[in-house]
Amino acid sequence: MTFINYASREINCKIVYYGPGLCGKTTNIQWIHEQASPEKRGKLVSLATETDRTLFFDFLPLDMGTVKGFKVRFHLYTVPGQVFYDASRKLILRGCDGVIFVADSQRARLEANIESIANLATNLRDNGFDIRTIPYVLQLNKRDMPSAAPVAEMERLLRFRNEPMLEAVANKGTGVIETLKACARQILMDLQRN
Amino acid sequence: MAKLDLVMFEEEFSQLQEIIGRLQVDSSSKVVFLVDKNGQQIAASGDVRSIDATSLASLTAGNVAATDGLAKLIGEKEFSLLFHEGEKDNLHISIVGKRGILVVIFDQNSSLALVRLRVKKASRELQEIFEKVEQRAQGAASESSKFESPFSEITDEDIDKLFGD
């Protein structure tokens, strides 16, 4: 749910990074935080366990500049990927404007990716959204791993609506901004249509 | 689809601002924030610069969402009030209507009883404004938008510019 404030001339959009445990959701937004200029980025908030596993969510506000005289601000959230945190994942999707699905390219995680997309569909539906229509991007992360499955195979298994699909190595920053941009484009184009 | 954008115009915004400004003075509190259940700050009053308002809004919404989940687990609709007591400062969080959260930060210059009393009155007034915003959003959705949106002409170049391309 985009928040458009005509008084302060601001548009706020919420983007959620989703995906199985250890796929690199937090790494994506950490990289964005590291490379964004200090005047653009807000504070990165991480609610994580002692071993740096996401417990509730990570949150990063980003000031992107202006469109049509309105300041555009993205609120980036990650969900906890581990299966047993499902209740938390559902809460974080509340009121989101777009979803980035971070898939783990390692062959051993292919099933976990499929399960996580199914879980995303259910949790979106419970929040009143449709996975087939909400702004959505598929990121194939960890492309540098020796055990990475071929892109064509991942596409066949995970891509279901002709959504933008990007290859990434999030810990090196490859494909991270491009992924965010693909999602932002869909959200802003949605605003145009509505 | 449950997606109705929250669109706030100048007039409603200044009404909200006035109500929370009054609440902050009447309750002798340090800061009052009005945030949306999705974690976005709507308005603030008091010594706002002393606090990271964006993080506060997002964490409050997370807190309320988690508490909502707990309420449903035990068969309650929601817990409409959360109170966190600190050594010096306290946090009073309450739900306003369907989508608002009111956060009051206060110290020993006020009391929980006073804050609760003032919040109750302010909540009613805030709720009326939220209802107005909601009704207009629904009206606009069914009449295919009466006002000209400034975003009807967003181009690919606009988006490229946002990302510095």
pLDDT value at B145 more than 60: no
Which B-chain residues 69-128 have CB contacts (< 8 A) with chain A?
69
Contacts with A11 from chain B: Cβ below 8 Å:
151
pLDDT digits (tens, 9 = 90+) for B26-80: 999 999 999 988 888 999 999 998 899 989 999 999 999 999 889 999 999 989 8
pLDDT, residue A27, reads 97
CA pair distance B1, A178, nearest whole angstrom: 28
A41 and chain B in contact, CB less than 8 A: no
Give mean pLDDT, residues A19-48: 94
Residues 6 or more apart whose Cβ sits within 8 Å of residue A84: none
pLDDT value at B142 more than 70: no
pLDDT, residue A96, reads 95
Contacts with A2 from chain B: Cβ below 8 Å:
5-6
CA pair distance A95, B80, nearest whole angstrom: 19
A74 and chain B in contact, CB less than 8 A: no
B148 and chain A in contact, CB less than 8 A: no
Tokens 């506060």, located at residue:
B56
Contacts with A61 from chain B: Cβ below 8 Å:
54-55, 58
Contact B66 A3 (CB under 8 A): no
The residues pairing with A71 across neighbouring beta strands, listed in sequence order, are A10, A66
Identify the three-state secondary structure at position B60: helix
pLDDT digits (tens, 9 = 90+) for A158-181: 999 999 999 999 999 999 999 999
Measure CB to CB from residue A1 to each of B3, B8, B145 and give the nearest one: B3
Contacts with B68 from chain A: Cβ below 8 Å:
91
CA pair distance A116, A134, nearest whole angstrom: 17
The pLDDT confidence band at residue B148, using thresholds 50, 70 and 90, is low
Q: What angle do CA B40, B135, B55 make, to 5 degrees?
A: 5
Strand (E) positions, chain B? 6-8, 31-36, 41-46, 81-85, 90-96, 100-106
Helix, strand, coil shares of chain B as percentages rounded to 5?
Answer: 50, 20, 30
Q: Whole-number mean pLDDT of chain A?
A: 94
Residues 6 or more apart whose Cβ sits within 8 Å of residue B30: B24, B46, B47, B50, B89, B105, B106, B107
pLDDT, residue B4, reads 63
pLDDT digits (tens, 9 = 90+) for B6-32: 788 888 999 999 999 999 999 999 999
pLDDT value at B140 more than 50: yes
Contacts with A14 from chain B: Cβ below 8 Å:
38-40
pLDDT digits (tens, 9 = 90+) for A50-75: 888 998 999 999 998 898 889 999 99
CA pair distance B164, B146, nearest whole angstrom: 33
Which DSSP helix (H) or strand (E) runs through A5? strand A3-5
Closest-approach residue (CA) in chain B for A192? B152
Tokens 């706002």, located at residue:
B48
- Is the alpha carbon torsion for B93, B97, B100, B102 positive or negative? negative
In angstroms, how far apart are the furthest CA atoms of chain B? 54
pLDDT digits (tens, 9 = 90+) for B103-124: 999 999 999 999 999 999 999 9
Tokens 């992107």, located at residue:
A64
Name the nearest CA neighbour of A136 among A176, A167, A96: A96
pLDDT value at B101 more than 90: yes
Identify the three-state secondary structure at position A156: helix
CA pair distance B37, B143, nearest whole angstrom: 26
Contact B5 A68 (CB under 8 A): no
Measure CB to CB from residue B154 to each of A47, A56, A188 and give the nearest one: A188
pLDDT, residue B39, reads 87
In a 13 Å sphere around the CA of A185, the CA atoms on its Cβ side amount to 16
The pLDDT confidence band at residue A79, using thresholds 50, 70 and 90, is very high
ipTM at complex level: 0.79
Contact B13 A95 (CB under 8 A): no
pLDDT digits (tens, 9 = 90+) for A125-162: 999 999 999 999 999 999 999 999 999 999 999 999 99
The pLDDT confidence band at residue B143, using thresholds 50, 70 and 90, is low
Measured CA to CA in angstroms, residue A100 lies from A16, A136, A138, B152 at distances of 6, 6, 6, 24
